[in-house]
C-alpha cells in the first residue's frame, strides 16, 4: 500500500471517527464474547431451545410471532422448523444492529436474507415498533411468541405482558443471562421457576398445555 493511500485511509478514519467508535466497541464486544452471542444472534445451544419451542407450539393453533429479527437468523430457523402453512410474523423496527448499519441498509440486508422464507414459508415482516404491532393485533392468539427485541427491563416487561395477554401457550425469548439483567428480572417476575433453559433461550409453557 502506497503512502498516499495510507494517508487517504487515515483521513477517512479521522473524518468518520464518531461513526467508527460504536462500530468498534460493538465489534470488539461480540469478537470477545462468542460463547454467549453470535454477533447479536443465537448460539448453537440457543438453537436447541428454539427448536424445542417450535415443536411444543406445533400442538396448538395460531401463528408464530417473533419480536426482533435483526438479520433474520432466528426468523429463518423458525421458518425452517415450523409446520408448512403456519404463519410466521417477525416484528422488526431496524433500530439496532451490531455493525451500526443505517436503518435502510439494515432493512435491505434483512429482507434479502429472508427472501426465501417470505416467498415460500408463509412468513411476513411487520416493519415497525413492537408497541404498534401489539396495538394493531389485540385479538391475535399465537401458538408461539419468541421475544428478542429490546433487552432493557421495561421493553422485555411490555413484550412479556403482551405475550401473556394473548393466552399464547408457548412463550420464549433470548438472552436470559447475567449480561442482560433486565431480561432475567422480567422473566423471573412473570414466570418464576416455571421456565426451561437451553443456553440463554428461556421457554415458558402454560401449565395446562404441557
Ligand X SMILES: C[S@@+](CC[C@H](N)C(=O)[O-])C[C@H]1O[C@@H](n2cnc3c(N)ncnc32)[C@H](O)[C@@H]1O
* Residues of this chain that bind ligand X (CB under 6 A): 40-42, 68-70, 73-74, 91-97, 129-130, 148-150, 174
CB of 131 to ligand X, least distance (A): 6
Are 143 and 170 within 8 A, CB to CB?
yes
CB of 175 to ligand X, least distance (A): 7
Q: For ligand X, which is the closer residue by CB, 87 or 209?
A: 87
Q: Which residues does 63 contact at the CB level (< 8 Å), separation at least 6?
A: 86, 87, 88, 89, 140, 142, 143
Q: For ligand X, which is the closer residue by CB, 129 or 209?
A: 129
Q: For ligand X, which is the closer residue by CB, 148 or 203?
A: 148
Are 85 and 123 within 8 A, CB to CB?
no
Q: For ligand X, which is the closer residue by CB, 39 or 209?
A: 39
CB of 151 to ligand X, least distance (A): 7
CB of 102 to ligand X, least distance (A): 12
Q: How far apart are the first and last CA of the chain?
A: 63
Q: For ligand X, which is the closer residue by CB, 42 or 168?
A: 42
CA-to-CA distance for 12 and 82, rounded, in angstroms? Answer: 46
Name the nearest CA neighbour of 173 among 193, 140, 154, 150: 150
Q: For ligand X, which is the closer residue by CB, 13 or 178?
A: 178
Q: Which residue is nearest to ligand X (CB)?
A: 68
CB of 25 to ligand X, least distance (A): 16
Q: What are phi and psi of 205, to 5 degrees?
A: -115, 130
**Which residue has cell 440486508?**
109
CB of 71 to ligand X, least distance (A): 6
CA distances from 39 to 32, 59, 95 (A): 10, 32, 15
CA-to-CA distance for 20 and 168, rounded, in angstroms? Answer: 42
Are 66 and 75 within 8 A, CB to CB?
yes
Amino acid at each position: 500500500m502506497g503512502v498516499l493511500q495510507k494517508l487517504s485511509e487515515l483521513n477517512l478514519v479521522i473524518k468518520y471517527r464518531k461513526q467508527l467508535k460504536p462500530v468498534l466497541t460493538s465489534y470488539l464486544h461480540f469478537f470477545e464474547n462468542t460463547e454467549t452471542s453470535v454477533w447479536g444472534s443465537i448460539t448453537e445451544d440457543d438453537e436447541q431451545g428454539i427448536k424445542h419451542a417450535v415443536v411444543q407450539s406445533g400442538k396448538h393453533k395460531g401463528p408464530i410471532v417473533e419480536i426482533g429479527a435483526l438479520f433474520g437468523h432466528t426468523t429463518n430457523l423458525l421458518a425452517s422448523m415450523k409446520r408448512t402453512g403456519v404463519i410466521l410474523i417477525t416484528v422488526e423496527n431496524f433500530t439496532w444492529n451490531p455493525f451500526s448499519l443505517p436503518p435502510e441498509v439494515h432493512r435491505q440486508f434483512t429482507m434479502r436474507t429472508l427472501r426465501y422464507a417470505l416467498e415460500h414459508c408463509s412468513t411476513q415482516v411487520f416493519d415497525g415498533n413492537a408497541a404498534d404491532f401489539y396495538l394493531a393485533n389485540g385479538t391475535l392468539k399465537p401458538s408461539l411468541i419468541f421475544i428478542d427485541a429490546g433487552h432493557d427491563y421495561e421493553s422485555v416487561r411490555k413484550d412479556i405482558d403482551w405475550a401473556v395477554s394473548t393466552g399464547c401457550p408457548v412463550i420464549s425469548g433470548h438472552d436470559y443471562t447475567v449480561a442482560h439483567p433486565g431480561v432475567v428480572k422480567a422473566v423471573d417476575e412473570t414466570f418464576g421457576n416455571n421456565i426451561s433453559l437451553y443456553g440463554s433461550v428461556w421457554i415458558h409453557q402454560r401449565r395446562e398445555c404441557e
